[in-house]
Amino acid sequence: MKAKVIIIGNEILNGFTKDTNAHFLINNLLKNDITVDNVVFIKDEIFTIIEELEKSFQVDFVFLTGGLGPTNDDVTTNALNVFFKDKKPKLLNNSVGTAPGLWFSKAGINYFAFPGVPAEMKIMAFQLFKTLFNKVDKKNSFLHVGTVGIRESKLLLVLKEFEKSLPKNCKMSYLPEIFIVKLRFHGINTEEEVFIEIKKKLNELLNTHIFSFNQISLEESIINSLIKKNINISIAESCTGGQISKMITSVSGASKVLIGSVIVYSEYAKEKILDVSSEIIKKNGVVSEIVVKKMAISVMEKFKTNFGLATTGFMGPLEKENDRFAWVCLASKTKTVTKKIYLKSTRQNNILFTSRVILNELRKEIL
């Protein structure tokens, strides 16, 4: 079965609002064996919406988002009324907002219109799919594998022969992120034993680079391991400015393992809060191995935790490429691991990269 997605909104086409609805619909429709043939983005104009609806044939479903509200630029309902000649639609409950969704049928095609607000649309679509597709036997199945600390180019080499050996009804995709590469296996009428064998082979080939065999994040997998092993941590952040703490506390159960964290952005804060002496900073520089080591050990001791994590660095943007680097440190009572990393992206990406590097060091230590 096939579908078309129509995203309506001037604010999206003007670049003021980032669309996430299309990705959500595509992903969840595929899980229900519905393939999205095309996605279009159009303006809040009645004639434009009608024109796009008239071109929507050779599909089983059409999903529209945006333009159902009460403001002057919300014209989707009017366009649908014209297209369907004032035929009354079924109303889809909106438990979050005020505008209900609309369900029309015409010439064997089902048309669903949702509000454009993602928080509303996603709940409504989720409930609809559960009702619409709950009795359908699924032929599509997926396996998601999270890897960290290995580049996509290296993965391609390591998995070259493995990929060739996959069954014809199982396709593999590489989804690179910052310091992370996700592997997705899409099976059509694939037996569960196939995925079990894939997991086994990947464990042999990638070993400790794998952090999950489902869609949980790196930080969630770390939190789960820390809880299971009754290990706690503390964090001292300089260049990452609270990013690591944010990632950790975004996971349910973080309070069981994160005892405390501090943002010691200035030299003054490092001296007063973590007792890093001004002489050490002056002699070695604030971004140095000895300073990050002192930070990690100090935060561990002050919070009385099993591990202390610390970061210090130049996040950019800077004029000289070689000035973009950071030091990270993971300290325990028996071992201290430091790492110098070179940064080549935007400031925001560099902060995330540095955060994931130190979290990966923690993950490796608690395996």
Residue pLDDT, tens place only, 234-269: 999 999 999 999 999 999 999 999 999 999 999 999
Instruction: Please give the pLDDT value at position 161.
Output: 97
Instruction: Please give the pLDDT value at position 31.
Output: 85
Using 50, 70 and 90 to split pLDDT, how confident is the model at 318? low
What does the pLDDT average to over 334-361?
A: 96
Question: Which tokens hold the place of 97?
Answer: 């907002």
Contact status, residue 56 vs residue 108, Cβ threshold 8 Å: no
Taking Cα atoms as reference points, which of 166, 165, 94, 103 lies closest to residue 132? 103
- What domains lie within the chain, and their CATH numbers? 2-133 (3.40.980.10), 140-212 (3.30.70.2860), 218-365 (3.90.950.20)
Mind listing the pLDDT tens digit for each residue in 85-130?
999 999 999 999 999 999 999 999 999 999 999 999 999 999 999 9
Question: Which tokens hold the place of 202?
Answer: 């990947």
Using 50, 70 and 90 to split pLDDT, how confident is the model at 33? confident
Using 50, 70 and 90 to split pLDDT, how confident is the model at 72? confident
Contact status, residue 264 vs residue 274, Cβ threshold 8 Å: yes
What does the pLDDT average to over 286-294?
A: 98
* Residue reference for tokens 């593999």: 172
Buried b (16+ CB within 10 A) or exposed e, 99-132: bbbbebeeeebbbbbbbbbbebbbbbbeebbeeb
pLDDT at residue 135 greater than cutoff 70: no
Instruction: Please give the pLDDT value at position 190.
Output: 82
pLDDT at residue 320 greater than cutoff 70: no
Most confident range (mean pLDDT) of 73-82, 140-149, 290-299 is 290-299
Weakest-pLDDT range from 137-141, 163-167, 175-179:
137-141
pLDDT at residue 140 greater than cutoff 80: no
pLDDT at residue 208 greater than cutoff 90: yes
Instruction: Please give the pLDDT value at position 191.
Output: 84
Contact status, residue 58 vs residue 1, Cβ threshold 8 Å: no
Contact status, residue 31 vs residue 37, Cβ threshold 8 Å: no
Question: Which tokens hold the place of 153?
Answer: 């180019």
What does the pLDDT average to over 41-66?
A: 96
Instruction: Please give the pLDDT value at position 4.
Output: 98
Write out the DSSP string of 70-114: SSTT--HHHHHHHHTTTPPPEEEP-SSSSSPEEEEEETTEEEEEE
Contact status, residue 329 vs residue 293, Cβ threshold 8 Å: yes
**Pseudo-torsion of CA 275, 278, 284, 287, nearest 10°?**
60
Percent of the chain at pLDDT > 90 equals 88
If you ran DSSP here, which 8-state letter would residue 360 be given? Answer: H
The arrangement of strands across the sheet holding 109-114 comes to 35-42, 2-8, 61-65, 109-114, 101-106, 90-92
Would the pTM count as exceeding 0.75?
yes
Please tell me the distance from the alpha carbon of residue 59 to that of residue 35, in angstroms, as a whole number.
10
Question: Which tokens hold the place of 222?
Answer: 């770390």
pLDDT at residue 306 greater than cutoff 90: yes
What does the pLDDT average to over 310-319?
A: 88
Instruction: Please give the pLDDT value at position 148.
Output: 98
Indicate the average pLDDT of the chain: 94
Burial class (CB in 10 A: 0-12, 13-18, 19+), 263: middle
